[in-house]
Structure 1
Amino acid sequence: MVRNQQITSHAYSDRAAFERLMLLIATLVQYPGVGSSDALEKNSGQYHDALIEVQTRLLEIANSMGITLSACALPTIRKDLTILRQWRILNQSRYRWGYYLGTGAMGPEELQVALNALHSQAEYQGDPQIKQIYQRLERRLRGLNLSKELFYPVRTHLDRTIVYTDPEEMMSRNKYRGTLYDKLDVLQVAIIQGQAIELFRCRNPYQPGNTHKIQVYPLQLVYSDIAWYLLHEDLQNGHLALSRLDRLSDHFQILDMKYRGSQLQRESLKVAHQLLEAGWGLSLGTEENQHLERQGQIKLVEVTVRFFPDVMAFILEGEKRHPSQEIKEGPKANNGRPMYIEYSVKLPRRSLNEFCYWVCRFMGNAQFISPPELIEKHEKMARDLITRYSTV
């Protein structure tokens, strides 16, 4: 005798319900971020129901596939989203800025911009980890019809690193030297977690022979002009500084201390970037001077440089070189154009050398007007140059 079995039907065993759920997943795939309240960011007091846009896109996809959805009310969609959360297709977190699946938060246009940035960082700034990630993505996305468009480098950043950054490339060229580039994976973890580490400064071109261990909180990897730097905070005195990665060896020791967490990391990072914005270049000053500057107890130096016609247009284009800059035109020449312009900026003393080096690139088209120490320094550079050429 066959025992009667009770068959429990699944909530989506009905074809219409199943199709609606599949179409909802397709909506989240084709429109990542659907339901975002971006348009209402400036008016946060206005109510925004993300499901209305989800419903609209869902119906569009259904129509494009010739499917008629009889039950597609907002409460029904909300129930379907709950099912997707239960099966971990969606996370449990609140999707305030729109729905997306997993880490697929970008549409084709956004993905292309991100891929361009990765390509530039891998190709020209020589980041070995980014290079591997870009190559993996390139292989993974080859099957898309849009792969050629996605990987076309519409944008790039041409500043090239002047040193080897990839340990594998160094080995293949017999140029291997153990540097911090060998430890990027654990360094990144230390940055995110706020872990204190010990490093070794193996080269110091400014003070030859002054090589030593440093104990720091690593804050950020920074690319500037020609190389990668590590922005770090001294473990004992809180001094902030930047060190070039290739001048640090592969010595990497995690110190036996608790992680301080991302909040304190962000606070220190904010201070460091305030110092960078106030200065010119990468020097953040000595421990003592930096402490005074962070307390607002240093007097800024007002620097004025006179630039002449051959470079005036270039100087005038730079409307955002520094937040404190002022540009004034000199008297008019017979052609109606200024005979020169004066560029003034207020800088901490730690930045004067780097600012002077920037001015020197304009050769005879620049003249310091103040302060006296930079007038003297610039004039000495010019005299030394004349002496060198006259003795050739």
Structure 2
Amino acid sequence: MSLLIKLNVLNIQWIAWHLNTPLDICKIWNKKRKRQVSDEIIANYHQYLKDFPAIPAEGFTAVHTIHTAAGKFDINQIIEKTKIVSKTQTNRTNRTQNSQVQLHQYSRLLDFERLMHLIALIIQYPGIGALYQNEPSTLTQILSSIPKINSEVEEVCACIAKLYGKIYADGDAIAADLEWLEQNGITSANNLNNDLDLYNIEYEELTTHAYSDQNAFSRLLKTIRLVIHHPFLFDSQQGGSLKTLVTELVNRKIIDDEYLDRIRSDIDKYLKPYKILPNFSLRRGYFAGTALLNQNELSKVFNILQSQVITFDDPLTLQVYENFKERMILSKFTVEDVYPLRAIGNRSIVDVKHLPFGALLKRLEFLEEAIINGKILELKNVVETAKFPNWENQESIFMAYPLQIVFHNVAWYLGYEFYQDGKPGLFGYQRLDRLIASNYSQQGRSTKLQEKSLKKLNKLYNSSAGIFLGSSVSDQQKFLSSNKLERQSVEVAVELWCNDYSFKFISEGTRRFPTEQLAMSPLLSSYNQIDKSIFKLPRTSDAVFPNRFQVKLPKWSLSDIDLKRWILGFGGNIRVVQPDSLANEIKLTGENILKAYE
């Protein structure tokens, strides 16, 4: 189209010849050439021509398809088509002048395509226009290098020119398009149910395209607007995504019932090729780019993220939150008045600002990259940091695969697997503020192996009493074994006897441990609709502690401070019955507390 516009000054009529050659024939012809191209390139261009076939509105007097069936070419087809060029031009002019088409500001193909590419760009790169300030790395990926940019429009034009062609990078037109998209609710939450701001234009000479008429253009843009602001509309009873979308368009008086085929054509021939909708099957509802939530859902997610930022003191989450908040404000969503419906009571006890520079809690992006790429880290315990007795033998420097960042109770931890050169390594957790890491080694492993190890780590964590996973690789492997006897060899039964006061609290917490590891005596009331299968044990014969609680745990959990803290928190309202080692330790702790006050 750019070339034809330049050549238009010559006042020459141009004809487009579409050689409709099957893809397999194209590949056969390619193999006969001295300079061959890859099949992938041929397939891509074949698909591109299918998505964007030549049309008269690009500047052609006529577009003719020449069928090359079985790879044969007939020159007579071209001769016959050439004879009727003048008649074709006359017929098109008469149709345009005598039709009921209402032309508008995007009736010219160049203007229409510029708007479509602009919408696609905004969808693909949220925050476009301010990337040079906020996300220069993303802008570098688009442009290869960042030129001097002084405004939002300059950045958008640079990206449009790079991705779609300089012909669309008209600064004044782009500025007007951006304003039009915002005013008409495509890029804002304003005027979502209003008609589009279109006005009649009389062109001296115009070859129309599929959406030159106001009604067709309005239908297309309102469909885009609906999908952006109401993603994943789906009702199986209506027959799927397309019929659900059409029903909603009918309910909003955007189309009539008989427009189903037209909406299907809009989607398949225009919205998908222009990359406004993803080019795959959307069986559970339509969505555009990253516009996955509606306005109400966005507010809820913002509220949840806000509560997490306040509680967990996570630098990366804070950065995401600030970007999210800024974009909510720019999109005219009210965030200052968002009432904090939820909060998380646990909070980090670590002040990140005062940690040493190399502490992993200050290098989360580095750590996340190592996790994603399966890299081995050399980890070092910060000198003179606190250690529990059962962690004193932990090596001060060790090699490990980082697996996951976990917030547990009061701090951020790193879940890892010791590197053992192909052998199973010890799984464990350590506080991020107590670890320093050197640069990761070049050696790494696949995502599949990382995920396999993460599943094992999660199984150990979820089955244990807390964050401590022991110090024996052999014990961990036995617990993870599918052999029931091997697993039982490293399990221990913890039994507590409780008075009524403590048992009411304990019996309400049926998710403290996995239900398959848990059993209790009958409930004291029927107030809670709790899974009754857990409450199957007989009561004790003790008048003071008549209620029984049992849980099977990995044996290393007996050394976990979380388990002891939970038991001691009930004071004299529970008694440890088994194992004896735990009962004696709790008793000794009580005696030591008593001595501290003597």
Question: Which TM-score applies when normalising by structure 1?
Answer: 0.84
Q: Residue 95 of structure 1: SS of its match in structure 2?
A: coil
**Partner letter of residue 9 of structure 1?**
T
Where in structure 1 are there 5+ consecutive unaligned residues? 40-46
- Aligned with 2:556 (options 331, 335, 350): 350
Which of the pair is proportionally richer in strand? 1
Q: Residue 228 of structure 1: SS of its match in structure 2?
A: strand
Matching of residues 78-157 of structure 1 within 5 Å: 78-82=264-268, 83-143=270-330, 146-148=333-335, 151-157=338-344
Matching of residues 156-175 of structure 1 within 5 Å: 156-165=343-352, 169-170=353-354
Q: How many residues of Structure 1 are paired with residues of Structure 2 in the alignment?
A: 365
Provide, for residues 25-73 of structure 1, a one-character-per-residue CA deviation record: whole Å limited to 9, x for no partner.
0110221112376x8xxxxxxx952101111122233x2xxx5558622
Q: Residue 400 of structure 2: SS of its match in structure 1?
A: strand
Asked whether the equivalents of residues 120 and 158 of structure 1 are also in contact (C-alpha less than 8 Å), the reply is no
Matching of residues 235-384 of structure 1 within 5 Å: 235-236=419-420, 237-249=424-436, 251-261=437-447, 263-285=448-470, 286-295=472-481, 296=483, 297-298=486-487, 299=489, 300-322=491-513, 323=515, 324-328=517-521, 330=539, 340-354=546-560, 355-384=563-592
- Aligned with 1:189 (options 365, 369, 380): 369
Structure 1 residue 108 displacement after superposition: 2.9
Higher RCO by CA contacts (8 Å cutoff, separation 6 or greater): 1
Asked whether the equivalents of residues 404 and 414 of structure 2 are also in contact (C-alpha less than 8 Å), the reply is yes
- Aligned with 1:59 (options 250, 259, 263): 250
Asked if 1:18 corresponds to 2:211, the answer is no
Asked if 1:386 corresponds to 2:573, the answer is no
**Partner letter of residue 441 of structure 2?**
L
Asked whether the equivalents of residues 240 and 284 of structure 2 are also in contact (C-alpha less than 8 Å), the reply is no
For 2:374 and 2:245, the matched residues in 1 are separated by: 39
Structure 1 residue 219 displacement after superposition: 1.6
Asked if 1:217 corresponds to 2:401, the answer is yes
Structure 1 residue 234 displacement after superposition: 2.0
**CA RMSD between the two structures:** 2.8
Q: What is the percentage of aligned positions where both structures have the same residue?
A: 28
- Change in Cα spacing, 1:50 to 1:303, as seen in structure 2 (3 Å) is same
Q: Residue 345 of structure 1: SS of its match in structure 2?
A: strand
**Partner letter of residue 385 of structure 1?**
I
Provide, for residues 96-129 of structure 1, a one-character-per-residue CA deviation record: whole Å limited to 9, x for no partner.
4321111111123332332233112211111111
Structure 1 residue 204 displacement after superposition: 5.6
Structure 1 residue 292 displacement after superposition: 2.0
Structure 1 residue 212 displacement after superposition: 3.1
Q: Residue 218 of structure 1: SS of its match in structure 2?
A: strand
Where in structure 2 are there 5+ consecutive unaligned residues? 1-9, 14-58, 62-205, 523-538
Provide, for residues 173-220 of structure 1, a one-character-per-residue CA deviation record: whole Å limited to 9, x for no partner.
xx6543112221122223233333333222462356966333222221
Asked whether the equivalents of residues 497 and 545 of structure 2 are also in contact (C-alpha less than 8 Å), the reply is no
For 2:540 and 2:425, the matched residues in 1 are separated by: 48
Structure 1 residue 248 displacement after superposition: 0.8
Q: Residue 280 of structure 1: SS of its match in structure 2?
A: coil
Structure 1 residue 255 displacement after superposition: 1.4
Provide, for residues 280-331 of structure 1, a one-character-per-residue CA deviation record: whole Å limited to 9, x for no partner.
1011222221122222414221111112233222112112222221111547
- Change in Cα spacing, 1:94 to 1:190, as seen in structure 2 (3 Å) is farther
Using the TM superposition, name which of 223-232 and 111-120 deviates more.
111-120
Question: Which structure: larger Rg?
Answer: 2
Q: Residue 221 of structure 1: SS of its match in structure 2?
A: strand
Using the TM superposition, name which of 150-159 and 96-105 deviates more.
150-159
Partner in structure 2 of residue 44 of structure 1 = none
Provide, for residues 310-353 of structure 1, a one-character-per-residue CA deviation record: whole Å limited to 9, x for no partner.
3222112112222221111547999xxx8532211111111112
**Partner letter of residue 406 of structure 2?**
V
Partner in structure 2 of residue 234 of structure 1 = 418
Q: Residue 154 of structure 1: SS of its match in structure 2?
A: coil
Partner in structure 2 of residue 42 of structure 1 = none
Q: Residue 363 of structure 2: SS of its match in structure 1?
A: helix
For 2:581 and 2:406, the matched residues in 1 are separated by: 31
Q: Residue 329 of structure 2: SS of its match in structure 1?
A: coil
Q: Residue 135 of structure 1: SS of its match in structure 2?
A: helix
